[in-house]
Amino acid sequence: MTTSPNVPIEPRVDDPHTFELSSHVTDSAEDVHVGLTLDAVRPPSEEEILKVENLTVEFPTEDGVVHAVRGVSYTLREREVLGIVGESGSGKSVSSLAVMGLLPRSARIKGRILFRGDDMLKMSARKQRGLRGRKIAMVFQDPMTALNPVYTIGDQLAEAVLAHELMPRKTALARAKEMLDLVGIPQAEARLRSYPHEFSGGMRQRAMIAMAVINNPDVIIADEPTTALDVTVQAQILEKLLEVKDAVNAAIVLITHDLGVIAGMAHRVLVMYAGRPVELGDTDPVFEEPRMPYTAGLLGSIPSLDKGSGSARLRPIKGTPPSLINLPTGCPFSPRCPLATDVCRSSEPPLAETDSGGHYAACHHWDRLAAAEDPTEFFRTESETVA
């Protein structure tokens, strides 16, 4: 059972229905469970499991070539959580489907995807199938449609085991029960005989996590694992992912558009825009001192509880992401960027290290963001400017 965050209990002033709370009630409020955080789980090791180098994915269409992914590079260590964030269409899911080997044959894939030193793009289809689901697993985006509606949960979990190991079906079902227990589904043995439509959205997502970890993978790719779930269930699913990460000693690639999820879940963050990485670094420095205007714009569009209601105006990023078929010349963010100059419109900046070690940004003017006390101020609305 997941409890609420630690919130102080105080009686309302001048309320006729207010009653005095006993001291043991208010004291116990301080001991309420606050949810699992990165500080409470095992830290990453130095062992490198996955390395993506200059990954490029293109899709030929009748209208032209879609440049879905352009030069994505990152590394992933054992037990590390890497967050990939960006707007819809930025290439987050496509880059991970390329790692899984699940893109259609029409896709043109270049670069290298090294799993423990072996290039997956040069592997045979049979060897890729041996890795997929066993060493690298994926929690797909929509829990409502990812499961087969005509097979029981137990059959689908057992199939994930039997596809990679020879064992009696009874043994595979026993492991499936263990995984349902691990992800917190009550009455796991009985639930093995249930069909997906008998599960709620949160339970289906837990079942998807159970399927992903049933073979003790080294890497778990979670693509929007909390989509279409309410806030309480989202928190439970994310906490369960951290628990499972330590239970099977896996690393996680967490794909989302929710910066709040990244802030609480990821050791490092990769920000993507128009198919390419535009900022990369440890989560806290990237969020506290962004060096790319797009990242600052994303942070400025999030409601803040630290400011008073009178000054807590959201600062949206004007405009829309560019077409991946007809990308603008220069920096693809320049049509929406308040810092854009002629050099931005003529040349696309490389992803380069900024003023702090390990913090990379693709921006000609990252130094202006570094000098600003509040980087989101560049996205002030017209009403704020007038005021």
Give tens-digit pLDDT for 301-349. 877 666 554 455 677 888 899 999 999 999 999 999 999 999 999 999 9
Residue 314: phi and psi, rounded to 5, are -75, 145
250, amino acid identity? A
Residue 132: partners with Cβ closer than 8 Å, 6 or more residues away: 100, 101, 102
Which fold is adopted by the domain 49-266?
Answer: Rossmann fold (3.40.50)
d(CA 309, CA 332): 34
d(CA 3, CA 107): 45
**Could you tell me the maximum CA-CA distance found in the chain, to the nearest angstrom?**
74
CATH 3.40.50.300 in the chain is located at 49-266, 272-386
d(CA 339, CA 351): 17
pTM confidence score:
0.85
What pLDDT shows up at residue 2? 44
Q: How far is CA 31 from CA 1, 6, 41, 366, in A?
A: 15, 8, 19, 43
The correct answer on CATH 3.30.565.10 for the domain covering 272-386 is: no
Compute CA 268 distance to the chain's CA centroid, rounded to the nearest angstrom.
11
d(CA 50, CA 20): 57
Q: Identify the weakest region by mean pLDDT among 47-61, 141-155, 234-248, 314-328.
A: 234-248
State the number of CA atoms in the 13 A half-sphere of 374 facing the CB: 8
d(CA 75, CA 267): 12
CB of 45 closer than 8 Å to CB of 250: no
What pLDDT shows up at residue 378? 85
Cα angle vertex 301, ends 297, 305, to 5°? 130
Residue 246: partners with Cβ closer than 8 Å, 6 or more residues away: 41, 42, 79
Digit-coded pLDDT (tens) for 110-120: 999 999 999 99
